[in-house]
Structure 1
Amino acid sequence: MPRRLAHRQGVVGLGWALGLVLLLVAGCSSQGVVSPLAPWPPQQTAGPVPSTPAAPSATPSGPTTSLKYRLIHPDGDYFGISTWKAPSQAETNLVAAPAGATPTIQEFFVGWDESFNPQSVRNSYHLGALPLLTWEPEGASKDSNQPAYSLRRIASGAFDGYLTSFAAAVRTEGQPVVIRFAHEMNGDWYPWSEGNSGNRPGDYVKAWRHVHDLFVRAGAVNVIWLWSPNVVRGPETTGFASLYPGADYVDWVGLDAYALGESTAGAVLDHSLSLLHAVTDKPVLISETAAEPGPEKAPWTADLFRWLNRHQDVIGFVWFEHTPTDGGKYDYRFTADPATEQAFRKGLASLRLVDWPIRATLPTPPPSPIP
């Protein structure tokens, strides 16, 4: 879901410092108990620049990647949330109470006119959640055609100063951070679509690999890379292969999947999940989901959780809890009506959730309270 209000009507058919110790505290859950993750040791000094990027999917051999590996392969389902001011204590409270569980992913958006904000990562961990940073290569404009941010310019090094600085800040923060770079690339509503901004076929993969490689060279090994197309609607069968950066460049694959009148989750997700499986066996996160208002919203929400329980390769979901006044095209909140709220709470209780929250112990209190 873009930060702009208008989007996706029918196209493809419709991402603390050194020495910080992470303390993991098991949360209370009525679902099955999932073993808490081991603490992540202090970050080690980055070694020499590798000649080729290391494969994120490889089994880690050092202590600095042990938590990252466990996060990539969780023993349970993630319950993620995106709210207008995420990560926000007040907004998390408004979600956790009716959901009956605390979110374990906090998703927020960062444009390329913004620097990395370590406080967002710290606030996410204070809220007991893994930070998911959706990183949008565009300026303040929300126009779908921005040649200044073309994929070729990214791949050719035009933004290397910004990217290297961002990567260094992520590395210094130390904690694992999910980065969802240039999502929904198979649509036509973003500047990084290969049909916009003067982009050509093949440019997306080149840009992704260039960004990834700069992070590797900067020693930012704490990134979990999430590649996230939009679901395909209709008979399209070309798949995602031409846009997939490759196994060495991706840790998770995602699907952005909104119900626009469908009555079952499978009607929205099944075809696209099969297209994903044709190119990769990486863990799948439903990286944005919700349902538009209407008589099918509550039944579809209930069926989403049945669908998740049937698909063990899907490691969780992120619900887009927004209204038209704060970034949504529709009122996507599961709390918008009693029937949907009840369906959500009951469905969430049926999942075997990751038994968190995570709690981070900081050397000093955060500079500012979490809003």
Structure 2
Amino acid sequence: MRPRLRSDRLSPLLATAAVSALTVGCSAPSESGPQAENSSPTHQRLAGPTQALPGDRPTIGLNPDWGVETLEQFATTTGVTPGAAVSFIHMPFSETDAENVRDAADQVAGMGGVLMLTLEPHEGLEAVTEESIAELIDLLVEVNDAEVPVMLRFAHEMNGSWYPWGMQPEAYIDAFREVAAAVREQTTGTEMIWAPNYGGGYPFVGGQYAPEPGTTDFELLDTDGDGELTQLDDPYDPFYPGDDVVDWVGMSLYHWGDSHPWGSNDLPEPEKFSEQLRGTYSGLAGDESMLPDFYELYAANRDKPLAIPETAAFVTADADPDLALEIKRQWWQQIFAEDLRSEFPQLRLINWFNWDKHEPEVDGLVRWSVSTDQDIADAFREDLPEWVAEAHDVNRAG
């Protein structure tokens, strides 16, 4: 499930994805992806996600509510084939978890896409053991052997205070590197994605897993050395595991509204999506942004492909239908904007969080989906730019 917002300036993080198509092997491998020399001697390396996703445009993927809608049903409703889909799994995981991943992989294979597997160690980072890693590798090998590329999002939003793996930079980096080493050595089509939460609201004071002053974690996160954790501390760098083990970088980006407390149905400000990526978004509340330029520092400068694993726009269940449509439309139009492709050439994947679910932050049902209301689904289809529609047509024809 998605992370919980714990700060009065926290900018949402929940969703994933919906739309474009993907043809395995259609683009040249990125230098940041797993290289042939890292292949296991017992496996021939499959085209991984970096090679599988088109290099000339972002792919639109989906974070589906698997119990409500199949990928094929989404494609029928919206007219668009998702190029990627997200599945969540605990670590260690149960056989039921594994079966759910297999089912998701089957659907992804049927659409010719990539599976983004989000690994959640809810028992804490100490649950990342040799045994749990070995079980994970067995499952990844099985999925890759079925010719499904996997993006492994390990312990996402680790810079937040709402997860048991959060705000523990040293232990997180050790665990990430251990998992990445096994993935590179033993799988054939899996790549690692490092994906913190958008830093608005950092250090997310009051969360269950916020570090105590005087601890090693607190000192590591106090990047300006003033003895406090504040907005002036870097929300990303203490958690970065290293260029040698990161294939993709990513960030959860949402439109929850313009200010805390959340709950009102607000139109997204112009350029909000791109400003959040650049760290320049301040919002209608007038707060000055002090965030690093995530895109420049982690994607462009490091030559890493960028994914947005989760995005959507906040609309309550009782919102006026015309307003609900306009909020979502203004958000997806930012994501589909032609100039976004030229401004962010490393951006390769955007996932829409396609759930309607109860959110504790507002104690009510939030309709994040673009497919559960046919009027919104029709508008979504109408607004698709040519580069998405063409990708869809190619995928279907193939």
Q: Tell whether the 8 Å contact from 2:46 to 2:147 is kept in structure 1 after alignment.
A: no
3-state SS, counterpart of residue 312 of structure 1: coil
Q: Tell whether the 8 Å contact from 2:159 to 2:235 is kept in structure 1 after alignment.
A: no
Q: Tell whether the 8 Å contact from 1:171 to 1:220 is kept in structure 2 after alignment.
A: yes
Taking only aligned residues, the RMSD between alpha carbons, in angstroms, comes to 3.8
* 1:80-229 aligned within 5 A: 80-85=61-66, 91-112=70-91, 113-115=93-95, 116-117=98-99, 118-138=102-122, 149-154=123-128, 157=130, 159-170=132-143, 172-194=145-167, 200-217=168-185, 219-229=186-196
Work out whether 1:284 is the aligned partner of 2:258.
no
| Per-residue Cα deviation, 1:94-145 (whole angstroms, up to 9, x for no partner) | 432443321111211112233434343232111332222112112xxxxxxx
| Per-residue Cα deviation, 1:63-110 (whole angstroms, up to 9, x for no partner) | 734455522663432110111117x8x532443244332111121111
The 2-side partners of 1:285 and 1:13 are apart by 20
3-state SS, counterpart of residue 349 of structure 2: strand
- Residue in 1 that maps onto 2:226: none
Q: Tell whether the 8 Å contact from 1:185 to 1:229 is kept in structure 2 after alignment.
A: yes
Q: Tell whether the 8 Å contact from 1:298 to 1:339 is kept in structure 2 after alignment.
A: no
The 1-side partners of 2:340 and 2:382 are apart by 13
Work out whether 1:275 is the aligned partner of 2:279.
no
Q: Tell whether the 8 Å contact from 1:35 to 1:75 is kept in structure 2 after alignment.
A: no
The 1-side partners of 2:372 and 2:57 are apart by 27
- Residue in 1 that maps onto 2:214: none
Q: Tell whether the 8 Å contact from 1:179 to 1:223 is kept in structure 2 after alignment.
A: yes
Return closer, same or farther for 1:347/1:239 CA change in 2, 3 Å cut-off. Answer: farther
Return closer, same or farther for 1:64/1:93 CA change in 2, 3 Å cut-off. Answer: closer
TM-superposed CA distance for 1:168, in Å, is 4.7
Q: In structure 1, which of residues 257, 268, 275 is the aligned counterpart of residue 253 of structure 2?
A: 257
Q: Tell whether the 8 Å contact from 1:163 to 1:214 is kept in structure 2 after alignment.
A: no
The 1-side partners of 2:59 and 2:377 are apart by 18
- Residue in 2 that maps onto 1:47: none
Q: Tell whether the 8 Å contact from 2:62 to 2:85 is kept in structure 1 after alignment.
A: yes
3-state SS, counterpart of residue 123 of structure 1: helix
Q: Tell whether the 8 Å contact from 1:124 to 1:130 is kept in structure 2 after alignment.
A: yes
Aligned length: 307
Work out whether 1:348 is the aligned partner of 2:384.
yes
Q: Which amino acid aligns with 1:277?
A: E
Structure 2 gap segments, 5+ residues each: 12-18, 202-230, 259-267, 279-292
Return closer, same or farther for 1:236/1:266 CA change in 2, 3 Å cut-off. Answer: farther
TM-superposed CA distance for 1:344, in Å, is 3.1
Work out whether 1:13 is the aligned partner of 2:10.
yes
Q: Which has the higher contact order (CA 8 A, sep 6+)?
A: 1
- Residue in 2 that maps onto 1:240: 236
TM-superposed CA distance for 1:187, in Å, is 1.2
Q: Which amino acid aligns with 2:4?
A: H
- Residue in 1 that maps onto 2:395: 357
The 2-side partners of 1:289 and 1:9 are apart by 18
The 2-side partners of 1:35 and 1:204 are apart by 32
The 2-side partners of 1:331 and 1:35 are apart by 27
Q: Tell whether the 8 Å contact from 1:60 to 1:69 is kept in structure 2 after alignment.
A: no
- Residue in 1 that maps onto 2:60: 79
Return closer, same or farther for 1:67/1:58 CA change in 2, 3 Å cut-off. Answer: closer
TM-superposed CA distance for 1:191, in Å, is 1.4
Return closer, same or farther for 1:152/1:277 CA change in 2, 3 Å cut-off. Answer: farther
Q: When the two structures are superposed, what TM-score results if normalisation uses the length of structure 1? A: 0.69
Return 236-245 or 263-272, whichever deviates more.
263-272
Return closer, same or farther for 1:172/1:265 CA change in 2, 3 Å cut-off. Answer: farther
TM-superposed CA distance for 1:256, in Å, is 0.9
3-state SS, counterpart of residue 316 of structure 1: strand
Q: Tell whether the 8 Å contact from 1:163 to 1:211 is kept in structure 2 after alignment.
A: no
